[in-house]
Copies of this chain bind each other. A is one copy, B any other.
């Protein structure tokens, strides 16, 4: 199992593991808050407490990104934030389409998620057909039957899949055949478009965090129950 190390940053010849990459957006959010508060330095112990991650995990993650803190002095907050922003950095010119234009698709297009990443949402595609011709936030809704024609005349990097899971395989295959390079997958289905081994798929499983919340509530119930039983 060596595919824990997937990514190579060529500039500084460093390797960042998949699991560390997955944690970077969280570091990004906490550090942004510290920068806004005007903090200059932070120890791995304090960051550990804030983020509820062990200090050794933090040191191991940040060591992969370069040489930051000096023993006993803590991390330079601004420099660390800048470095993580660079790695996760925004590059203009990335484009996306959303398939389809149901409530979830419409909800996503109205967030600032794409704008903040410099990703330009070109269109929503409508599978049902009665929404095509309208627009949301000036982004046109187009009939799904026109996906291929659209992709011939527009460079589309990312397809955001919010369609029903029954359609997930067929639509992801069509998107990949159209030259889409990445899929942000909300369908709950594992996707394997044939003939496109390079395609990058990022799955969002909303149910996972509901399971965790539900589990924690039930565990709390049990604890409270057993405390009562012990009285």
Chain B residue contacts of A207, Cβ below 8 A: 25, 113, 116-117
Contact A212 B1 (CB under 8 A): no
CA distance A209 to B202 in the complex (A): 7
**Which of B7, B206, B214 is A204 in contact with, Cβ under 8 Å?**
B206
- Interface size grouping (class) on chain A: 35 or more
Main secondary structure, interface of A, reads helix
Residue in B closest to A119 when the chains form the complex, CB atoms: B214
Contact A18 B206 (CB under 8 A): no
Q: Would you call A215 an interface residue if the criterion is a C-beta within 8 Å of the partner chain's C-beta atoms?
A: yes
Q: Would you call A198 an interface residue if the criterion is a C-beta within 8 Å of the partner chain's C-beta atoms?
A: yes
Q: Would you call A106 an interface residue if the criterion is a C-beta within 8 Å of the partner chain's C-beta atoms?
A: yes
Contact B54 A181 (CB under 8 A): no
Contact B217 A158 (CB under 8 A): yes
CA distance A83 to B107 in the complex (A): 36
Chain B residue contacts of A202, Cβ below 8 A: 209-210, 212-213, 216
CA distance A218 to B8 in the complex (A): 11
Q: Would you call A102 an interface residue if the criterion is a C-beta within 8 Å of the partner chain's C-beta atoms?
A: yes
Determine, out of A138-146, A166-174, A220-228, the stretch whose residues face the partner at the interface.
Answer: A220-228
CA distance A218 to B117 in the complex (A): 12
Number of copies: 2
**Which of B113, B210, B212 is A22 in contact with, Cβ under 8 Å?**
B212
Residue in B closest to A22 when the chains form the complex, CB atoms: B212
Q: Would you call A40 an interface residue if the criterion is a C-beta within 8 Å of the partner chain's C-beta atoms?
A: no
Contact B116 A107 (CB under 8 A): no
Given contacts A107-B107, A206-B113, whether A158 and B25 have CB atoms under 8 Å apart is no
Taken residue by residue from 14 to 56, chain A's Cβ proximity to chain B (1 for < 8 Å, 0 otherwise) reads as: 0000100110111011000000000000000000110010110
Residue in B closest to A229 when the chains form the complex, CB atoms: B10
Query: When A and B form their complex, which 9 residue pairs have the shortest distance between CB atoms, in order from nearest?
Result: A103-B107, A25-B208, A104-B107, A202-B213, A103-B106, A25-B211, A200-B216, A113-B207, A182-B217
Beyond A102-B107, A117-B211, 12 additional contacts (C-beta under 8 Å) are A1-B55, A8-B223, A9-B222, A21-B215, A25-B205, A29-B205, A88-B211, A91-B218, A103-B107, A117-B214, A119-B214, A200-B217
